[in-house]
Structure 1
Amino acid sequence: MSLDVRALREQFPILAQEIDGNPLVYLDNAATTQKPQAVLDAIMAFYTQCNANVHRGAHALSDEATRRYEKARDSVAHFIHANSREEVIWTSGTTEGLNIVANGIAQRLQEGDEVMVTQMEHHADLVTWQQACTRSRAILKVVPIHDNGALDIQAFEDMLSGRTRLVALPHVSNALGTVNPIKKLAALAKQKGALVVIDGAQGIAHGGVDVQDIGCDFYAFSGHKLFGPTGIGVLWGRGSVLEDWPVWQTGGEMIARVSYEASTWGALPNRLEAGTPNIAGAIGMAAAIDWFSKLDLEAVQSHEKQLLASATEQAMAFDGLKIIGSAPDKIGVLSFIIDGSHPADVGFILDRQGIAIRTGDHCAQPLMRRLGVPGTARASFSLYNTLDEVDSLFRALKKAQMMLA
């Protein structure tokens, strides 16, 4: 079981460039992944062969655009094991998907109902539920984490109640790399009759996602975290839940009948997809899924674990460096701080050496406060990264540490 990383890297044109005379070492994959040539080709083919609006045109270009667009929906449905293609709702990304759910649940919550989130949420999976609770006077409950960044499962179970209406969970923490046991947590929540929504932005590219096996009601993710383009995402919803879910936006395509007095909504998925969609984005996302699906998933996961293991080992041996987030189950994210150094300064010096990481609070300010840090430096790995690049990261960190001493 091995991955031909060199052959994979050749499929990503951007990785061949240099930054300030140094080979690019791209370690910001939790922010966005790079795109293989197959995705770039699919997007270009749409624009050069059949650029037209979908579902509306009475001509050959529109027919072909519609065929490719709807085939993309089929690819997503198959990839995540949806029961039907109608359960796949196109969005602009994870954030919009979560907002569709929050907008709907806000109309159904009553004063005293409860919504549960965790201390490790991205702002998109926290502020949305804050707003829903504010509008409905529901109660927002926050499940704590342990000092190592793992979720407190006992606290989660204890905090569930007969008033819990919705549980929102990240599949994977974007700031720490912690992988949550979402199947177990979803089962506990369903015992209380709660809806379960999963922020899958960080989980979708690191393992097979089977929404049926997870047992959730909603799973949202973005194309650009899965080697696809930005501006496109998916909200998967269980058909029985989506069928009468309140509409998010109104406009063209989602309508069944319109008069000056009233309007009625169309069937799924159209009723939750107003306006002209991101057609090229959907086609590019499907190309990414098709490309990714041809890889040996076990080999990919094994390679990413090797990258994280090497990075963790070197980090633990690095004087003055502290890892932030050491949960037992993690994906390839290494968050850290260096004594006496601001993460932004570390990131700047690494950039001058061609190494791209992210610094800051990672859109998780409450989590940073819980951990007692203003922010971290974060290196995040993907399947096209190499062990040599991990070594390059730590050589650059040594230089940064000396310069900032």
Structure 2
Amino acid sequence: MPRPRSLRRDLALGFSAGIVLTWLIALLVGWTILRSEIDEVYDAALGRTADRILAIEEIQRGTPGRSDLLARMIGPEGQVLFRSRHADGALFDVNRNEGFSDAGNMRLLTLKTEGGGLLQVAAPLEERSAAARETLAGMLLPSVLLLPLAFLGVSWFTRRRLAPVDDLSREVAGRDARDLRPLGLSDLPAELKPIQRAVDQLMAQLDIALTAERDFSSNAAHELRTPIAAALAQTQRLVAETRDPAARARAEGIATSLRRLSPLSEKLLDLARAEGMTGRDHGLHDMVPVMRLLVSDFDGRVRLELAEDPAPIAMDIDAFAVLARNLIENALVHGLPPVVVRLSKEALVVENSGPPISPEALAKLTHRFERAGSQKRGSGLGLAIVETIAHNTDASLHLTSPAPGKTDGLRAEVRFKSSNE
């Protein structure tokens, strides 16, 4: 079994190799420059030796010297045996102690001869400063040139090695409560595998919990329909048979509550079905007949406008029917008829008239049991069901109030994804 990749080991080895490689390159470049400087120093020393010989000859012949090396020799009695043409006596008189010393901008060497005399030689300090500057530049130049390359190399290496971290982050960030599949990443470093396992376990637990919640809502709504219908029938019979006005009024109140409870159970069942949808139906279905059938159920309170016939849409027919019905019912309950419905292969638009809704309330309309302050009878689940179906079928819901081109009303638009996306 191959050993799993380790992010810690890869980074340590990579950085170490990069540091060693950069150091070797810098050492090679520095050695090349330093070798050139050493050659210059030795060449200069060789040149000065020749200059000394020439200086002695020039002094003896009395010809002008060309060397910047100054020299003076004095005998045991203090008499000057020879001196460079441009040598200043005050320069050599600064220090007659044997050894090296500085005199202004000159470096002075004093040696005692066997006869008790002195040999003094002086050279400008500028040459030493120039050599030091060139040597320092030779050492710094490789670093200046290699540091940007080192930074680029570190950036490229870390980005490459940390790519699995970015992949894992994007995979986790792209998930929500409706997408609880295990993370599909296989080639992860050893340090990230425990994180992937923990996230997969958490998603599995969430899936179990949400499935149980949806099953409970679906089963509860389904099982409540028959008892609610039976209770409503018994209450209506009680209203018809009782002669006591007070008892009849209480029975009518119970019947009214049961009538409101019945559609609520239907909406809860629709919501549970919508939450259980995964993905979208990639097959194209003509939704015009479905839309015509739905509109016919509302007794002329809905005006259907078709941009084209047919209107192929990549969505399950039952899901589209639940989505469209909830949009139309919401527009009728909370607005004024007629409700205008426009259908094309790109979008379904439902528009009504009525008081405009504030942006703050509009942003909350897709929340469960949200009525935006409306006192009209409704479950508060219609737009939540529409939003859930739209999300699970790769469509998008957009709410606008006032409706475009009007001063009132609400426009709900569901945009569908094209079949080739």
- Measured against the shorter chain, the TM-score band is under 0.3
Find the structure with the greater CA-based Rg.
2
**When the two structures are superposed, what TM-score results if normalisation uses the length of structure 2?**
0.19
**When the two structures are superposed, what TM-score results if normalisation uses the length of structure 1?**
0.20
Q: More helix by proportion, 1 or 2? A: 2
